[in-house]
């Protein structure tokens, strides 16, 4: 059984050297990836994508189309891996599960009054419980950024721990909404709180606020995961989400993950991309690498 922590167990979060982070990230972005490694990387990226639709205008038809794409990618591209999950609102979980569940693709659901997080704990717990009872394999919750920025760290910790308990066997991804946290020091502090409160993954963003998943933010969160692993031997996953729309940036993220955390994290059990458009660019790059010819974007569905 995993040890249950409380806010008093948290070590002091280290100050983040912003200049040092930027220099390190710049080196990751300058790496050249050759064709064979590039193809392996592109397939790995595809297998790590949480194909996502999280809009107020989502309809059963739109969710059904996205899920059909996830479930039947092999029909057109039999040598490619499936995406890791589809991510939807709680009201769409049952529908998504009915389509992708038999294909070994997980269903993730946002909860806790996504994207604002502005709701009482009772509402957030009910939101999460509804998603889990309807078949969600994973829950993507948002932290209370107002409480965090007001210094109410114990509130944020206890809220995450309460949601984790309701998740049961469903894995919990904790969204920090880093674009609202302002500084890398805050990103590091929020990462530590989420990890010690029981997060299975920490996630950058909802995709609704910019800047979202910058490599500087992701690097800072990876360092928090590294330090926790060095202290406890327990792995925590990472999910950059928002703004990663092209394969080149995704590959740079994989280089960074390998160097900071190691090969063990380079699979979809421990690393994900939250994306709505990344999959299409990855498919285009795979076909270009394989055939030498770019396909028109018209050959790929939007969802």
Please provide the DSSP assignment of 55-102 as one string.
Answer: -TT--HHHHHHHHHHHHTHHHH-TTSPPPSEEEE-GGGHHHHHHHHGG
**What's residue 303's pLDDT?**
55
Task: Establish if 176 belongs to a structural domain.
Answer: yes
User: Looking at residue 77, what is its pLDDT?
Assistant: 81
Q: Report residue 119 as tokens.
A: 């709701």
Is 303 annotated in the active site?
A: no
pLDDT at 275: 83
**Identified catalytic residue from 50, 127, 140, 192:** 140
Task: Label residues 108-137 b or e (16+ Cβ within 10 Å = b).
Answer: bbbbbbbbebebeeeebbebbbbbbebbbb
pLDDT for 200 = 98
Q: Is residue 9 one of the residues assigned to a domain?
A: no
Residue of 97, 189, 203, 303 with catalytic role? 203
Catalytic residue among 137, 189, 239, 303: 239
Contacts of 32 (CB under 8 A, 6+ apart): none
pLDDT for 92? 98
Q: Note the pLDDT of residue 295.
A: 57
Q: Give, as one character, the DSSP assignment of residue 15.
A: P
- Domain total of the chain: 1
Question: Residues 197, 149, 16, CA angle at the centre, nearest 5°?
Answer: 75
Q: Which residues of the chain have pLDDT under 70?
A: 1-3, 291-303
CATH code of residue 90 = 3.20.20.70
Has residue 3 been placed in a domain? no
Query: What pLDDT sits at residue 4?
Result: 77
- Residue pLDDT, tens place only, 274-300: 987 899 999 999 988 776 665 555 444
Residue 59 lies in a domain: yes
Instruction: Please check whether residue 4 lies inside any domain of the structure.
Output: no
Report helix angle 153-167 to 184-197, nearest 10.
Answer: 40
pLDDT tens digit sequence for 258-273 = 999 999 999 999 999 9
239 noted as active-site residue:
yes
Q: Which domain range does residue 175 map to?
A: 16-27+35-299
Q: Is 140 a catalytic residue?
A: yes
Q: At what angle do helices 215-232 and 184-197 cross, to 10 degrees?
A: 40
Which helix (H) or strand (E) is 230 found in, with range? helix 215-232
Residue 65 included in any domain: yes
SS3 109: strand
Q: Give the per-residue pLDDT at 298.
A: 45
Residue 157: strand pairing partners? none
Say if 105 falls within a structural domain: yes
Cβ pair 142, 113 in contact under 8 A: yes
Residue 7 falls inside a structural domain? no
Helix, strand, coil shares, percent, the chain, to 5: 55, 10, 35
**pLDDT (tens digit, 9 = 90+) per residue, 152-187?**
999 999 999 999 999 999 999 999 999 999 999 999
Question: In this structure, are residues 154 and 114 in contact, taking their beta carbons and an 8 Å threshold?
Answer: no
């Amino acid at each position: 059984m995993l040890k249950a922590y409380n806010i008093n167990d948290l070590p002091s979060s280290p100050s983040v050297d912003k200049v040092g982070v930027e220099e390190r990230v710049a080196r990751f972005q300058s790496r050249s990836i050759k064709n064979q490694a590039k193809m392996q990387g592109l397939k790995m990226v595809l297998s790590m994508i949480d194909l996502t639709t999280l809009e107020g205008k989502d309809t059963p038809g739109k969710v059904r189309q996205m899920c059909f794409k996830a479930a039947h990618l092999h029909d057109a591209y039999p040598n490619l891996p499936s995406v890791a999950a589809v991510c939807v609102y709680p009201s769409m979980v049952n529908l998504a599960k009915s389509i992708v569940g038999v294909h070994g693709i997980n269903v993730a659901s946002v909860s806790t009054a996504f994207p604002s997080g502005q709701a009482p704990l009772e509402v957030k717990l009910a939101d999460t419980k509804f998603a889990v009872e309807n078949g969600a394999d994973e829950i993507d919750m948002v932290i209370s950024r107002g409480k965090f920025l007001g210094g109410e760290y114990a509130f944020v910790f206890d809220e995450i721990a309460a949601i984790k308990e309701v998740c049961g066997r469903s894995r919990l991804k904790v969204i920090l909404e880093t674009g609202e946290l302002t500084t890398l020091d805050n990103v590091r502090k929020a990462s530590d709180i989420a990890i010690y409160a029981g997060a299975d993954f920490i996630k950058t963003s909802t995709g609704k606020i910019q800047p979202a998943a910058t490599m500087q933010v992701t690097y800072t969160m990876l360092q928090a995961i590294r330090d926790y692993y060095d202290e406890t031997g327990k792995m925590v996953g990472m999910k950059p989400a928002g703004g990663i729309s092209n394969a080149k940036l995704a590959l740079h993220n994989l280089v960074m993950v390998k160097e900071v955390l190691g090969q063990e994290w380079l699979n979809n059990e421990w690393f994900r991309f939250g994306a709505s458009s990344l999959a299409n660019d990855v498919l285009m790059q795979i076909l270009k690498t394989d055939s030498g010819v770019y396909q028109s974007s018209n050959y790929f569905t939007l969802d």
